[in-house]
Amino acid sequence: MRQVLVIFVVWLASSFDATIAFAESQGDVTGNDVPSATEQAIAEKVITDDVVRAHVRFLSHDLLEGRGPGSRGDRLAQQYIVSQFQSLGLKPAAADGSWFQPFPLVGVTTHAPDTVTLVNAQQRLTLKRHDDYVFASGRAEANVSFEDAELVFVGYGIVAPEYQWDDFKGVDLRGKVLVVMNNDPADDPDLFAGSRRLYYGRWTYKYEKAAELGAAGAIIIHTTPSAGYPYQVVQTSWSGEESELKEHGGPRMAMKGWFSDDAARRVVGLSGHDLDALRAAAEKRDFRPVPLGTRLSLSMTCDVRENSTANVLGILPGSDSARAKETVVFMAHHDHIGLAETRDKSGDNIYNGAVDNASGVAGMLAIARACAELDPRPARSIMFAAVGAEEQGLLGSAHMAAHPPIPAGYLAAVLNIDGINILGLTHDVNVIGLGKSDMDVAVEEIAKWQRRYVTPDHFPDRGYYYRSDQFSLAKIGVPGVYLHSGIEVVGKEDGWGRKQLEAWTEKYYHQTSDEYSEDWDLTGAVADLRLLFHVGMHTARQPTMPAWTPGDEFEAARQQALQQR
């Protein structure tokens, strides 16, 4: 994920297992979504603090060197996961009958210049790499360059016919460098879902659209509010090797980049414009691209290598021969960023990725252990997918979606775990994408049974739904559940949980400081993993497969997948 901390939530009680067990036993829901006594007992027995900690402690250890795609640590993580799958009695689930679904990558390490100079008439502005800009190659080539390319401010860089929105207005932008705002328009609730960020607001969309238009490059203006994380995350996440799927097609451009907000102001000022005024104009449908008259020449060398990693897939076959091909998927990404080229102030150069996402894999393995103890098993099969290269742009899940080991029409649902709660118990269960599918019903009923309540995304402007692996499966029609951080932490004053999440993003997200700690309070994590287990089992047993809400953006893909069964 280039992604941020995910925290699952539950209600308070004093002691760990006693609290959760009491909560679940005292629920007043009596419908079909209430877990059976057997499932409750198994969850309490095997989805525990110790089990989760043990997996996280190993997967985030320095010996795995940050689990960068294709690295020795990456391979160690995969072998560890296979050993756990096999010990639980899972069966290999890759198409060739193995545990591994390998996929080739092309890794590009860009050597951008330490400074660049932009020219406008007789004026010149020199910017510093890292402090002012981060540039990466958009092509897997040893040398990329362009000469005297004009910068053009293109607002949000969005074409959305359903909103009658086109930031480009047919302007020829071939060979230009586009300067783009992050996010999407948020002032009007009738446009782009208001404050909730859509895929149009993601940096991936901006680059894809710029390349489609034949631009030489695109530079996104970073602000903490528009990105959902500080500029230092760009500095760390966009340094070192960037990978893409070798099979990746589509148009390319020479450069993908970021400006700090301060640098963007100086660049726009060089052209005689005011950045705030341009931003205000970009909030309206009648916006047109603004040529800045400022030109940039750039030459970068790149180290290009072919590499590979793999998704690790295991399955528990369903008990009903008629429905066993239909499969519920639990998913978590096993990779992180790997090793930094230089050490930080503390002397550390390992991006351990303890929360992001050793913890998610740990949670998935704990749920797998619970599923393996079920007797009888649910009618549908249950797959466990530890996917790779998420931090490089959801590559492992994208490969799985392009080459599903089970046809998409038989993938009943996905429950994605991208981080767990390390803050303790909270009252609220935060569902990312609440309202998108009828899986919300099971989440809400089981949360109610555990005396919790469900809330929609607390940070809708950050676009979390499009930043984690369930998005890849959604694009082929598979509905799912993806939880994020609750903010109502039991025993803490109002606002404490939100402050802790924002502080974690500032200090730990995609930093070498994301390391395992014995100080983590995993009571909430265990409770939420149990909730996901129960939701998954309900989905695996119910007569019909989950469905998207009518009119949802992914409903058509689901219908197509079902027709191809």
Distance CA 181, CA 276 (A): 11
Q: Quick one: pLDDT at residue 453?
A: 93
Domain termination site, one of 266, 284, 304: 304
Q: Are 423 and 528 in contact (CB under 8 A)?
A: no
Q: Which of 39, 8, 490, 18 is nearest to 26 (CA)?
A: 18
323 lies in the same domain as 339: yes
Q: Quick one: DSSP state of residue 199?
A: G
Range of the domain at 461: 16-107+306-563
256 lies in the same domain as 389: no
φ, ψ (nearest 5 deg) of residue 435? 100, -5
Q: Are 228 and 463 in contact (CB under 8 A)?
A: yes
310 lies in the same domain as 300: no
Q: Please check whether residue 6 lies inside any domain of the structure.
A: no
- The amino acid present at 135, given as its one-letter code, is F
CATH of the domain at 122: 3.50.30.30
**245: three-class secondary structure by DSSP:** strand
Q: Quick one: pLDDT at residue 28?
A: 42
265 lies in the same domain as 289: yes
Residue holding tokens 């969005």?
158
Q: Please check whether residue 555 lies inside any domain of the structure.
A: yes
Q: Quick one: pLDDT at residue 14?
A: 37
Q: Quick one: pLDDT at residue 133?
A: 98
441 lies in the same domain as 357: yes
Q: Please check whether residue 11 lies inside any domain of the structure.
A: no
Total length of the chain: 565
Distance CA 20, CA 47 (A): 11
Q: Quick one: pLDDT at residue 33?
A: 62
CATH of the domain at 22: 3.40.630.10
Structure tokens at 267: 């660049």
Q: How many CA atoms lie within 13 A of 423 on its CB side?
A: 29
100 lies in the same domain as 121: no
pLDDT in tens, the chain (565 residues): 444 333 333 333 334 444 455 344 444 444 556 799 999 999 999 999 999 999 999 999 999 999 999 999 999 999 999 999 999 999 999 998 999 999 999 999 999 999 999 999 889 999 999 999 999 999 999 999 999 999 999 999 999 999 999 999 999 999 999 999 999 998 888 889 888 889 999 999 999 999 999 999 999 999 999 998 999 999 988 888 899 999 877 899 999 999 999 999 999 999 999 999 999 999 999 999 999 999 999 999 999 999 999 999 999 999 999 999 999 999 999 999 999 888 888 899 999 999 999 999 999 999 999 999 999 999 999 999 999 999 999 999 999 999 999 999 999 999 999 999 999 987 899 999 999 999 999 999 999 998 999 999 988 988 999 999 999 999 999 999 999 877 888 889 999 989 998 999 999 999 999 999 999 999 989 989 999 999 999 999 999 999 999 999 999 999 999 999 9
DSSP H stretches of helix in 287-358: none
Q: Please check whether residue 438 lies inside any domain of the structure.
A: yes
Distance CA 394, CA 3 (A): 10
φ, ψ (nearest 5 deg) of residue 555? -65, -40
Residue holding tokens 């469900």?
454
393 lies in the same domain as 523: yes
How many beta carbons lie within 10 A of that of residue 276, not counting itself? 10
Q: Please check whether residue 99 lies inside any domain of the structure.
A: yes
541 lies in the same domain as 393: yes
Q: Please check whether residue 150 lies inside any domain of the structure.
A: yes
401 lies in the same domain as 330: yes
Q: Please check whether residue 3 lies inside any domain of the structure.
A: no
Q: Please check whether residue 71 lies inside any domain of the structure.
A: yes
Q: Quick one: pLDDT at residue 7?
A: 36
Distance CA 383, CA 217 (A): 40
399 lies in the same domain as 504: yes
370 lies in the same domain as 496: yes
- Write down the pTM of the prediction: 0.89
Residue partners of 137: CB distance under 8 A and separation at least 6 = 108, 110, 144, 242, 254, 255, 256, 300, 302
Q: Which of 539, 326, 527 is nearest to 440 (CA)?
A: 539
Q: Which of 369, 312, 405 is nearest to 77 (CA)?
A: 312
Contacts 24+ apart (CB under 8 A), 24-33: 24/449, 24/450, 24/530, 26/451, 27/448, 27/449, 27/450, 27/451, 28/448, 28/449, 29/445, 29/446, 29/448, 29/449, 31/445, 32/538, 32/542, 33/441, 33/442, 33/445, 33/446, 33/449, 33/538
Domain termination site, one of 304, 323, 345: 304
Structure tokens at 509: 């997200």
Q: Given 3-state DSSP classes, what are the helix, strand and coil percentages for the chain, each rounded to the nearest 5?
A: 35, 25, 40
Distance CA 238, CA 294 (A): 25
Q: Quick one: pLDDT at residue 22?
A: 39
Q: How many CA atoms lie within 13 A of 140 on its CB side?
A: 19
How many domains does the chain contain in total? 2
Distance CA 358, CA 418 (A): 9
354 lies in the same domain as 246: no
Please report how the helices 37-46 and 16-26 are oriented relative to each other, as an axis angle in degrees rounded to 10: 170
Please report how the helices 72-87 and 49-59 are oriented relative to each other, as an axis angle in degrees rounded to 10: 150
DSSP string, 18-40: HHHHHHHHH----STTSPPHHHH
Q: How many CA atoms lie within 13 A of 78 on its CB side?
A: 24
Domain termination site, one of 304, 329, 352: 304
Burial class for 542, CB neighbours closer than 10 Å (0-12, 13-18, 19+): middle
Residue partners of 287: CB distance under 8 A and separation at least 6 = 155, 167, 281
